[in-house]
Amino acid sequence: MKIGITCYPTYGGSGVVATELGIELAASGHEVHFITYSQPFRLTGREEGIFYHEVPVSNYPLFEFPPYSLALASRMSDVADYYKLDLLHVHYAIPHSISAYLAKQMLAKRGIHIPMVTTLHGTDITLVGADQSYLPITRFGIEESDGVTSISTYLKERTLKEFRVHKEIEVIPNFVNCDIYEPLSDEARAAGRKRFAPAGEPILVHLSNFRPVKRAPDAVLIFAEIARKMPAHLLLVGDGPDRSVAEWLAKRHNLQDRVHFLGKQNNVSELLPLADLMLMPSELESFGLASLEAMACRVPAIATNVGGVPELIEDGYNGRLCEVGNVEAMAEAALELLENPKKLDEMATAARATARTKFCAHKIIPHYEKFYADVLERAGSLSG
Ligand code: GMT
């Protein structure tokens, strides 16, 4: 199959999923064309079977707001035509499903009929789409898609209820490549941990885009509680609007030498397995990809009991679930595990087992392939 993928290519879960999907599809022999405004950050540009098409968004002085959606639609239709794509798969409903819809109409005028698939990721529905100014057009994009997938049952149900769309939505959960996201050997782990925790102290990690929904400052507050009881270190991976608040909190608690701000990192699969626990104190997560990536590395998460997270984490088995904002409870849950290595080890084993048995790329990618085949068959019978 020849598949055109569009996503937000910079740091964000939907872009990560779209990129990893493209990489896995190409590895299975498909031809993948990324149509995005910059090269997705997890691509090296050297992957076989993957092509990258930049969307040039010109900033003509008359345009106070550069028309990205239109530039994207135009690029999508050109790429689809030139490379004879079989379908367009967009990640994040706004504005990508609308651009794909426009591209489809433009192509139809040239006698080319290709279907479009939209994958809903979370904030496109829960925050952006729920904004009254975007809701009707998001609903339109969903309804006009030839196939819609959602990354959790929670998100599917919320979309059906709040958007009142009459559309089949297939749940295809987030996935992780368990051969890349995997535990390190004891030696490699010990050597990597020395960089941050020279005396062998426990390491916690938080990975996000530091948007308010992630509650990154809570990660620092949880850590401050832990650090009062035991020497430990916190790795903060990522960057975004709440980073300066998190820095301010770390300073206020006198933890500058224990809280390590690593910024945006491309080698997440090398950093995560160094940790003992992941902190994901989010206000909302439709899935919680960062926790899945940590779990695959044998690092259980202390997370919030929100959105689709319970579809990934079972409290007390492969991680812990607490109430949003309950910093004390999350610190207590972390301390209980850090003080009980046997319990932590059992939970780490369960976390890795969950990732392997339920969310491994080789289990999830065939769902996408089957979904594409069904959409193509339906589209073929409609146009033919
Ligand atoms: O969470 C973000 O800010 C990024 C956002 C995105 O779409 O880029 O993430 C969403 O998609 C991820 C991948 O499917 C999910 O794992 C996240 O749970 C989801 N975020 C939210 O629902 C807040």
On whether residue 74 sits in a domain, the answer given is yes
In a domain, 208, yes or no: yes
Residue 113: how many CB atoms within 10 A of its CB? 13
CA of residue 286 to ligand 1 center, whole Å: 6
**Angle of CA points 176, 123, 93, to nearest 5°:** 85
* CB 372 less than 6 A from any atom of ligand 1: no
Say what the pLDDT of residue 266 is.
85
Number of domains in the chain: 2
Domain assignment of residue 345, yes or no: yes
C-beta separation of 158 from 127 below 8 A: no
160 and 286 part of one domain: no
pLDDT value of residue 382: 56
Give the CATH number for residue 71: 3.40.50.2000
Q: Which residue CA neighbors atom 9 of ligand 1 most closely?
A: 13
Q: Are residues 78 and 219 in the same domain?
A: no
The predicted pLDDT at position 246 comes to: 98
Same domain membership, residue 227 and residue 138 = no
The pLDDT of residue 4:
98
Residue 262 sits in which domain range?
186-358
Kindly give the number of the ligand 1 atom that is closest to the alpha carbon of 308: 18
Q: Are residues 88 and 100 in the same domain?
A: yes
How much is the pLDDT for 383?
Answer: 55
Per-residue pLDDT at 243: 98
Domain check: are 243 and 326 in the same one? yes
- Give pLDDT < 70 ranges for the chain: 129, 381-384
The best mutation among 206, 268, 286, 359 to test binding of ligand 1, ranked by most ligand atoms within 8 Å of the C-beta, falls on 286
Sheet holding 233-237, edge to edge: 259-263, 233-237, 203-207, 277-280, 301-304, 319-322
**161 lies in the same domain as 192:** no
> pLDDT at position 61, please?
80
Q: Say yes or no: 160 and 193 in one domain.
A: no
* Residue 181 covered by a domain: no
- Measured over the CA atoms of residue 86, residue 120, residue 242 and residue 304, the dihedral's sign is negative
CA of 340 to the centre of ligand 1 (A): 32
User: Do 274 and 379 fall within a single domain?
Assistant: no
Q: What is the DSSP letter of 344?
A: H
Cα–Cα distance between 243 and 263 in angstroms, integer?
A: 9
Nearest to 310 by CA among 173, 183, 170, 208: 173
Is the CB of 150 inside a 6 Å radius of any atom of ligand 1?
Answer: no
Per-residue tokens: 185: 């050997």
Same domain, yes or no: 153 and 216: no
pTM for this structure?
0.94
**What pLDDT sits at residue 63?**
84
Ligand 1 mutation target, pool 90, 123, 206, 305, most atoms within 8 A of CB: 123
Residue 180 maps to a domain: no
